[in-house]
Amino acid sequence: MPGTSLLPDVTLGIAYLLILLYMFLGIAIISDIFMEAIEVITSKVTLVEVVDENGNIQKIEKPVWNATIANLTLMALGSSAPEILLSISDTVTKLDTTPSELGPQSIVGSAAFNLLFISAVSVMAVDEVKKIFDMGVFVITSISATWAYIWFYLVLAVISPGFVELWEAILTVFFFVILCVLAYLADRHNAKKVSKADQDAANAIAIRKTALRTMAHKYGTFKILEAAQGRIPPEMTQDSVDTACGHFKIVLGRDSLSNVDIDELLDALNPENPLERIVYRK
């Protein structure tokens, strides 16, 4: 109407935008805390006894979580936490009405972006030969990802258009369980194909890594790094320094530590984390 002020509408619009901003910031903060919790869970290790090249029993640290299962469950849940929280909040606020399309679109859009765009950028960004070592798990997850989109279309457009029935939701969860089981079996099958020589070499490196981390706990991480760089900390004896340097050489596969980057030394001291993507999150 003529003479009507637009100020109330503008104020309402600004207030709505601020609410959305705070909502997204809240989801981001909660998701970040959730990811940190996942890091703590998946960084757990246990000591396992193995026989070294001299026939002596040594202890090495092994991740408690299987890498494949951790990537399919906790890592996927953590990396998709914003979309999941957004979908849950949208659904809960509209229990008695028709849910919006925000939830399905955010989840499918995020999955498609991860599958297509991020994979393409990752492949093009690394200027070296790229190889898939575990084809069994790769094939299973690839087929499952393709079937997920097909199943999503069948549920919402063919079987029960515009509506998700209870049995469809239960069957979807069951499909995910099947994926985890098959991927785990493929991962274990791939592990059994490792030759004894390769396993012994891996155990030798793991023994040295465990010993290095034990020394780091005793003397301090920076003292161990100083020892590797040729400086003898007052708290360490020459024998301890020689032992640490010997372990670093075996772990890094170097004859000399003179030109070793500090990040390589730190990597040798860090515990194995089964969630490779989470390591680079920050």
pLDDT tens digits for 260-276?
A: 767 777 777 776 554 55
Contacts of 14 (CB under 8 A, 6+ apart): none
The angle formed by the CA atoms of residues 91, 158 and 98, to the nearest 5 degrees, is: 25
- Confidence label for 281 from pLDDT (cuts 50, 70 and 90): very low
Instruction: Output the pLDDT for position 52.
Output: 67
Beta carbons of 279 and 273 less than 8 angstroms apart = yes
Write out pLDDT tens, residues 160-213: 887 788 899 899 999 999 999 999 998 888 877 776 666 777 777 777 888 778
Tokens for 98?
Answer: 């028709």
Tokens for 232?
Answer: 């003898």
Distance separating alpha carbons of residues 114 and 145, to the nearest angstrom: 11
Q: Is the pTM of this model over 0.85?
A: no
Contacts of 93 (CB under 8 A, 6+ apart): none
